Chains A and B, each alone.
Chain A
């Protein structure tokens, strides 16, 4: 039932378009520490389930993250805490998502 076309690209952009963000350019608050043995199942699952579509599989087959549309839910942080593949912090105070209605 997963709509693969919806994950990144125009549909996700449209969905996030209405949201307000103050992106802290050059200071991504989510980064991946690629492990030598390859990406864990948990990290791979994020290419499907990150609600903002921040994760995708790069050309080298490894998972990449661009957290500009991140809604700071913390799902990726929790799912990878065992493997330590993600370094996650809140954006600097005032930056990041700004909910109008919540």
Chain B
């Protein structure tokens, strides 16, 4: 193995794989290092894969990527203790030749992606943890130190694709420590059922059709958080995630929250008889635009979750990871072609590419949402409860006239927020954060 590379990529999740793949395809001499037994063995996702970001890197990925189902129906649930009020969108138009969203199992998907990276010519070493970065006297990053024998490895650029809990960048003081209110702690289980049972329970015609459910309300027990339930081919992924700071404050056990969600009367029948084959936990960056650290410096750049690139409102992360990885790769390819060094100044190219892409545009659009939700728990507690109560009042036929019912419903909504003023203020707050 050569001991000097054009680039070293730390991490083989979607951001690192996208970055290493694009650079290797362009002929760069790339070394990628992952601490897992195989790429994916440390990684967790819901998981919905957004095709567009991957298609821009590997156009024919559908030919052999391990995809579970493509999403033809999305359900949104507002949960109260015994009910849910929902909206759903299902369309046969999602049964297209090149579907837009798929469910995947990350450990398997990452393994596949990594095979493409190696086929493109990158060198991968697994079971190896990067311990530290090497800097020269001027403070420029010039390589990495790992827990393997063999000494330091040098490169023109080090790409930190180490994920949300990446400690290399933090320990080298390239990025600050993460705050507990800038991450959600999520737990998830993979529950197995026969393929036909999944289809029947979710009203699916084809073996490849899938349903995903996003859940707000009592699922987070008053914390800022959400739940999800996704259909895979022969399994269901179910999970719940809330701000780490909220868990620390409430001392609610994450698995107890997940158990409660699984036992909810709207959920339990969907899971009946399923066999649990894995229980996982992972953090999700949720701080949004204001939590993004410095992204570049002399000899280094950050991609993916390590840069807090997650759009929590739309539950998108892997696509931001792949896109930032690709843009970093394109930057390093261009700098090499122009014979320029990798410095804070020349990496402006990467920062500009990011600013021009949906990654930064979307994070900027929702900049105010994380703070808004943290300061306004009623969106997770009061509203879902009130809406469910109102629905029940609306539907139950019990001899009370409709006008009285409507009046009571409206009073219930207003009362929950200390009068109509509270409700109107909430609507404005939400609308402003969404703009």
B-binding residues in A (CB < 8 A): 1-3, 6-7, 12, 15-16, 18-19, 22, 42, 45, 48-49, 51-53, 71-75, 77-79, 81, 88-94, 96-102
Q: Given that A1-B256, A90-B167 are known contacts, is A78 also in contact with B180, CB under 8 Å in the complex?
A: yes
- Would you list which residues of chain B between 276 and 302 have a CB under 8 Å from chain A? 276-283
B279→A18 contact, CB < 8 A: yes
A77→B165 contact, CB < 8 A: yes
Contacts of B254 in A (CB 8 A): 49, 51
Interface of chain A, helix or strand or loop or mixed? Answer: loop
Contacts of A101 in B (CB 8 A): 105-108, 190, 235, 237, 277-278, 280
- B185 part of interface (Cβ distance < 8 Å): yes
Q: Given that A2-B256, A78-B177, A99-B43 are known contacts, is A45 also in contact with B248, CB under 8 Å in the complex?
A: yes
Q: How far is the CA of A83 from the CA of B8 in the complex (A)?
A: 33
- B178 part of interface (Cβ distance < 8 Å): yes
Q: Give the distance to chain A from B240, nearest Cβ to Cβ, in Å.
A: 11
Which one of B32-40, B332-340, B401-409 is at the A interface? Answer: B32-40
Q: How far is the CA of A53 from the CA of B45 in the complex (A)?
A: 21
* Total count of chain B residues near the partner, CB < 8 A: 56
Which one of B15-23, B122-130, B195-203, B266-274 is at the A interface? Answer: B122-130
B177→A93 contact, CB < 8 A: no
- B42 part of interface (Cβ distance < 8 Å): yes
Contacts of B148 in A (CB 8 A): 93
Q: How far is the CA of A23 from the CA of B132 in the complex (A)?
A: 23
A102→B47 contact, CB < 8 A: yes
Q: Given that A90-B35, A99-B40, A102-B40 are known contacts, is A71 also in contact with B281, CB under 8 Å in the complex?
A: yes
Q: How far is the CA of A52 from the CA of B147 in the complex (A)?
A: 26
Q: Give the distance to chain A from B293, nearest Cβ to Cβ, in Å.
A: 14
Most central of A6, A45, A101 by chain B CB within 10 Å: A101
- Would you list which residues of chain B between 42 and 100 have a CB under 8 Å from chain A? 42-45, 47
